[in-house]
Structure 1
Amino acid sequence: MTLYRQLLATMLLLFGALFAVTYWVQFNSTRTYLAQQQETTVINTATALGLALTPYLENGDKVSAESVIKAVFDGGYYRLVRLDLLASHDVIEQENTNHVAGVPAWFMGLDLFPEISNESILTSGWLQLGKLKVVGHSGQAYYELWQGMTNLASWFVVGFLITTLLLMRALSYLLKPLDQIREQALEIEQHHFGHEIPEPRTVELKQVVQAINTLSGKLAAQFKEQAQEAENLRERVYLDAVSGLGNRAYFVGQVNAWIAEAGQGGVMLVAVDMLDDIYRDEGFAARDNMVKSIAQSLNDELSGWDGAAIARISATEYALLCPTNDLDTLQELAERINNRIADLVVNPMGEADALSVIGIAGRDSQDDLSSLLTKADNALGRARNERRGAVVMEGGHSQGMMGRLAWRDLVEDAIARQLWRFKAQPACRFDNGLRLHAELFAAIHRDGNDYFAGQFLPAIEQFKLGSEFDQAILTATVPLLQQDAELVLAVNITSGAICSEEFLLWLGDFLGRNLELKDRLLFEIPEGAILKHQAQVEALVAVLREHAYQWGVDHYGRHFQSLGYLEQMAPSYVKVDHGYTSQVMEPGADTSFLAAVCRAAHNAGVLTIATRVENEQQVELLSGLHIDGYQGFVHPAFLI
């Protein structure tokens, strides 16, 4: 029970006891008064009646005596008036046997008033004329007591209700600072810092509030310091200081993750050898400015490519990871990049000469990192031997069987006919091995062939089919969860769906119709979408929270932006990008950055999960890096 309810109940009990004691005292006082009044009335009536009857009894006038008795009986409220005539042995009697109206029978049965009577002998000198008995009727006393006490009880009830309302308002006002302290403590427990509580007037609570605000501020500053530490480590390990792009280690990690996800597309190497000429002729400052300009141009060209990565791998070379299912777009992209780089040099004669060459390696089904980079390097060498502005492509022959429109038709057909094949890969805790959830992987099964997400997702983003695709997948998960009561699924949401208002409206209705799944259906949002479309992601998260659904971040740590969104958006968990976890097994691997970003998430109260963990040795190494769980081939995916 809350302190508010305890105080309210205690005060109401005290007021209730006070009202009850007051009522009891008033009840007894009224009853005693009415009993005494009745006794006095009976005695006075008997005395007066005796004096009035004596003359008639002396004369033997029975009729007049009876008239006097009737007049007195009718003028008062008595149960019995009886006169025994001693001389003639006659009896004159008047009796009232009626019940009092307006008084419950159970109340009359409480015997609150004893019978009050008075007997006297009427005499004339020494002669006894008769015996008079007057018995009072307690009905009037019961009526007066009932009316008075019911009215008093009504006023007490009204007063008690008014007192209750006033107490509730007073306690709410007085305990508001304490409730704010409680909410702040819960926020701190959930690693949400920075919000200050207004200081109350109560001295004791004011000191507590000041301490809580100071603690919250220190924790918020500490979290920001840890996030900044992670950023600094990432810049040291994975960032090229001049261009602001990733370095070779970053690029290798991203390509490994892309290959592991069966991604399609290619790797592009851009060589700008004229940077050496700029350095010799104009110095390092001019060269660095050109390096930054080229980096900005590359970022602009790949801004709409989901899953792309850019790095500077040497003084004059840049590497680009370009996920796509149409290699012709890589050729077009390379031509645009050459033109953008050529435009960076101001030519007084108005002539535009190419300054760069590009080699492209299209990914074939069996390519690993080494073979893919070898093909890209060979293509770049051939381009250098041709001319400036040359674009040479090698490989990618196994991808040429389907064009962009064919991939679009495949996805639309799968959505219309529900051509899905689902697998789920468990995510487990390091400490006890318990399953946290299972991530859902969708493949399209048509004409005896399976097409995996890494193959058709570029078409979904390119043709803006994310909303329809995610609606179809989420709809298909409902029967899967209903069939297995123990299954907890995590479903990835595409960037296209996140930016779709139609999907947001549909999702609100879907979640409302499936509230029983709120603890068994999780949503994963890619980190890139959070950084590029923060407003849309916040709207999506608001819908999830409205229906008490949980969500997580996929590819955590992939992008070179602040990790501050963790505190602001408060996901339930993050999945560390495979580009970092895959390097743990490499000789001399620097795990300081991985530990730092995981510690930043851990200290923000967010569960951290490593992805694509392949063996027990990786499990053992990752368990010491502030990571709570792991997911990968160490626990193979299962069909559902």
Structure 2
Amino acid sequence: MSLSKQLGLGFFFVLMIVFLGTLWMSTQNTRAFLEQQLNSHAQDTATSLGLSITPYIGTEDDLPIIETMVNAIFDRGYYRSIALYDQNNQLVFEKTQSAGVADVPDWFISLFSITAPEAQTEINNGWNIVGSLRVLSNPGFGYRQLWQNAVSSAIASFIGFVLSMLFVWFLVKKVISQPINRVIDQADAISKKQFERIQDIPSTKELYRFVNAINVMSDKLFVMFKKMTNQSEEYRRFAYADFVTGVGNRRAFELAINGLLGDSDSQTDGYLFLIRASSLKAIHTELGGEAGDKYLKTICQAIKEAASAEYDHFSIFRVNGADFALIIENIRENHAKAMAQLLAIYTKRLEKNEHKAGVAHIGGAKFKYGAIYKEVLENVDSALLSATAAEHRWELSSSLSVSHSNQEWRDVLTNIIQEGKADFVAQPIIAKDGVTLYSEWFARLSDKQSGELVPMAQLLPASMRLDYAQQLDKMIIENMFVVAQQQSQSIGVNISRLSLFDAAFTSWFIEKMNVYRSTCSKIVLEIPERALVHDVNALAEFISLIKPYGMKICVEHFGAQLAGITHLRKIMPDYLKIDGRFTADIHQQPDNQLFVKSLINIAQGLDIKILAEKVESEDEQHWLLSQDIDGVQGFYVKPPAEIMSLSKG
């Protein structure tokens, strides 16, 4: 039972006892007073009436006069009986009437009975006693007066009781319970790492100290957590960011490009551009290091502006003194040429007299899953070398083959979506104790005409490029819900960044969750880390809509974006999956070890389970589990396995 209910019931019983006790005492006192009044009234009547009839006692002829005098008093109704006795105590005559009262309940008369004492006076004739007069008051009038007094007292006491209860309610709810509930809510928020202050502090001294102590604790925890987060960000900037321009350094570049080349799940392709600050050496020599740094910053800004003009997602790195690398995923050759031209235009605008060798030259080369890192760099270096001699200052590496035209991809995507069926393979995420936390499902889609599986690494970029991403996600999720109904384990499913921020898709997804409400608690929705950077507020709103259905959230490929950590508290995911580029050979990478340790500490501080993907060796798994990571996933842990297929049934 809550404190407010306990206090409320306690005050209620106390006030009820006071109410009933006051009413009882008031009625008893009134009854005693009425009994005294009845006794006094009877005695006064007996005395005065006795004196009045004394001259007529002793003769029978005067008896009618006595009766008339008695009747005159008796008819007023205040008496139950008046009796006249002679000197031998023989009844001469008597007048009586009932003591009942019609408008007073019988239970009240039984509970508060009034005893009306009999008053008596002697009648004397000189020195001789010639008779006696006995008068008994009628208690009916006393009962009526007592009942009216009890009703009035009850009404007054009840009004006082109600007013007291209202005061108690205000005291309990507003003065006591409200600050306590705020403290409880604040404690819950602190457990979720939301360090907000209680603004409405009560004036009651004890509650003021109580609430203020919670505020002080919240402030200190916020400072401590912020310090820990900042330390992790500082380390990341130190280890993976360029100090001059703020973009990723060579170490970050190598992690990124090697991660893309070795990503067997996504099998991403794209273009790598190398932009060389051609006049850096001359500026350093003639104008000094400060001018050189300014020159690098302007080129870096120009690269950002050119890339953001065409693409939402890209990665920029400063790979050495004069060279910047730009990675753009999932673009075709004609788009890569347009991007190289745009980079040349944006950097050309910066040209000044001191840029004797030109502002910048651009070389580009295609990369894809399975390519060799050294060969990709050789290709882009060759293109950059050709660009230095080209008038337009950019060049792409030698001829590139394109497997499908846009129309061919439209046909493939249309056929797949119309077919509306997908198969799945599942790869489990295993905890240290061997328990499966959940299994990530990967869709497998077939080309209806050829009957062959379509590589998802090619299909997904094509769907995004041709505005089929939401339709493809809907089809896959629909199939997932159908199959998941027959599964007992938790299931992880990926959703594209474009779908996450699409209002129509969100409405559709909510409708599906309502249809498959019983299945939602088994679903772990995996969202890419880049979605946090794109629009964390919109993402937080999307998550707030699906959380009530019991669906869990996992941020995958975490660590690739420099701003990811700062947004964690806004969305509070259930799982955090470290990007595979940080787990590769982690037992031999001290820098990555330090960074992963900091991520583990932050995740555990936020009560988020942290996972590692692409664990491909025993050494990697051993090191990760030794750091109390919550789960590991990869071909070494367990390869993907086919589950029930809709398309075959």
Q: TM-score normalised to the size of structure 1?
A: 0.79
Residue 461, structure 1, aligned to residue 464, structure 2: yes
Conserved? CA contact 2:306–2:346, under 8 Å: no
Match among 262, 267, 272 for residue 263 of structure 1: 267
For 1:74 and 1:13, the matched residues in 2 are separated by: 49
**What is the CA-CA distance between 1:28 and the residue it aligns to?**
1.8
Q: How does 1:535-546 map to 2 (within 5 A)?
A: 535-544=537-546
The aligned residue for residue 276 of structure 2 is 272
| Residue deviations 1:328-366 (CA, integer Å, cap 9, x gap) | 4334434444554555544899999983332323x3xxx
Conserved? CA contact 2:492–2:525, under 8 Å: yes
| Bigger mean CA offset, 148-157 vs 472-481 | 472-481
Conserved? CA contact 2:276–2:360, under 8 Å: no
Conserved? CA contact 1:341–1:356, under 8 Å: no
The aligned residue for residue 618 of structure 1 is 620
SS in 2 for 1:355: strand
SS in 1 for 2:586: coil
| Residue deviations 1:475-530 (CA, integer Å, cap 9, x gap) | 6665556555x554455443323433444555667667877677555544433222
**What is the CA-CA distance between 1:170 and the residue it aligns to?**
4.1
| Residue deviations 1:439-491 (CA, integer Å, cap 9, x gap) | 4544445524444654433244334455555556666665556555x554455
The aligned residue for residue 233 of structure 1 is 235
Consecutive unaligned residues of structure 2, counting only runs of 5 or more, are 645-649
Change (3 A) 1:24 1:596: same
The aligned residue for residue 144 of structure 1 is 145
Aligned-pair RMSD on alpha carbons? 4.7
For 2:119 and 2:517, the matched residues in 1 are separated by: 80
**What is the CA-CA distance between 1:120 and the residue it aligns to?**
8.0
Conserved? CA contact 1:267–1:373, under 8 Å: no
Q: How does 1:34-73 map to 2 (within 5 A)?
A: 34-45=34-45, 55=56, 58-59=59-60, 71-73=72-74
**What is the CA-CA distance between 1:26 and the residue it aligns to?**
1.5
For 1:474 and 1:166, the matched residues in 2 are separated by: 56
Q: How does 1:120-159 map to 2 (within 5 A)?
A: 136-159=137-160
For 2:216 and 2:294, the matched residues in 1 are separated by: 44
Conserved? CA contact 2:84–2:91, under 8 Å: no
| Bigger mean CA offset, 18-27 vs 168-177 | 168-177
Residue 374, structure 1, aligned to residue 380, structure 2: no
Which amino acid in the other structure matches residue 35 of structure 1? Answer: E
Change (3 A) 1:317 1:28: same
The aligned residue for residue 296 of structure 1 is 301
For 2:479 and 2:72, the matched residues in 1 are separated by: 97
SS in 1 for 2:565: coil
For 1:45 and 1:410, the matched residues in 2 are separated by: 119
The aligned residue for residue 365 of structure 2 is 359
| Bigger mean CA offset, 130-139 vs 13-22 | 130-139
**What is the CA-CA distance between 1:210 and the residue it aligns to?**
5.6
The aligned residue for residue 391 of structure 1 is 396
| Residue deviations 1:68-110 (CA, integer Å, cap 9, x gap) | 6655444225556677899999976644275522x33333333
Q: TM-score normalised to the size of structure 2?
A: 0.78
For 2:618 and 2:85, the matched residues in 1 are separated by: 117
Q: How many residues align?
A: 629
The aligned residue for residue 647 of structure 2 is none
The aligned residue for residue 256 of structure 2 is 254
| Residue deviations 1:189-218 (CA, integer Å, cap 9, x gap) | 333336375766555555566655444333
**What is the CA-CA distance between 1:143 and the residue it aligns to?**
3.1
For 1:239 and 1:226, the matched residues in 2 are separated by: 19
The aligned residue for residue 565 of structure 2 is 563
Conserved? CA contact 2:271–2:327, under 8 Å: yes
Change (3 A) 1:135 1:539: same
For 1:186 and 1:625, the matched residues in 2 are separated by: 28
For 2:462 and 2:243, the matched residues in 1 are separated by: 34
The aligned residue for residue 629 of structure 2 is 627
Conserved? CA contact 1:256–1:369, under 8 Å: no
For 1:255 and 1:427, the matched residues in 2 are separated by: 25
For 2:136 and 2:292, the matched residues in 1 are separated by: 125
For 1:66 and 1:425, the matched residues in 2 are separated by: 117
For 1:137 and 1:449, the matched residues in 2 are separated by: 112
**What is the CA-CA distance between 1:32 and the residue it aligns to?**
1.5
| Bigger mean CA offset, 54-63 vs 109-118 | 54-63
Conserved? CA contact 1:556–1:577, under 8 Å: yes
The aligned residue for residue 610 of structure 2 is 608
For 1:514 and 1:124, the matched residues in 2 are separated by: 110
For 1:481 and 1:151, the matched residues in 2 are separated by: 71
SS in 2 for 1:612: coil
Q: How does 1:427-576 map to 2 (within 5 A)?
A: 427-430=429-432, 432-445=433-446, 447=448, 448-451=451-454, 454-465=457-468, 483-484=486-487, 487-503=489-505, 519-544=521-546, 551-561=553-563, 563-576=565-578
**What is the CA-CA distance between 1:29 and the residue it aligns to?**
0.9
**What is the CA-CA distance between 1:592 and the residue it aligns to?**
0.8
**What is the CA-CA distance between 1:284 and the residue it aligns to?**
7.1
Residue 322, structure 1, aligned to residue 325, structure 2: no
Change (3 A) 1:513 1:158: farther
For 1:452 and 1:78, the matched residues in 2 are separated by: 113
Change (3 A) 1:209 1:452: farther
The aligned residue for residue 317 of structure 2 is 311
SS in 2 for 1:419: coil
For 1:465 and 1:67, the matched residues in 2 are separated by: 117
Conserved? CA contact 2:43–2:120, under 8 Å: no
Identity of aligned residues (%): 24
Match among 583, 601, 606 for residue 581 of structure 1: 583
| Bigger mean CA offset, 529-538 vs 281-290 | 281-290
Which amino acid in the other structure matches residue 23 of structure 1? Answer: L
The aligned residue for residue 421 of structure 2 is 419
For 1:67 and 1:616, the matched residues in 2 are separated by: 126
Consecutive unaligned residues of structure 1, counting only runs of 5 or more, are none
For 1:206 and 1:117, the matched residues in 2 are separated by: 67
| Residue deviations 1:238-271 (CA, integer Å, cap 9, x gap) | 2344454334443343345442323332342526
For 2:304 and 2:80, the matched residues in 1 are separated by: 109
Change (3 A) 1:161 1:134: same
| Bigger mean CA offset, 53-62 vs 567-576 | 53-62
For 1:395 and 1:585, the matched residues in 2 are separated by: 38
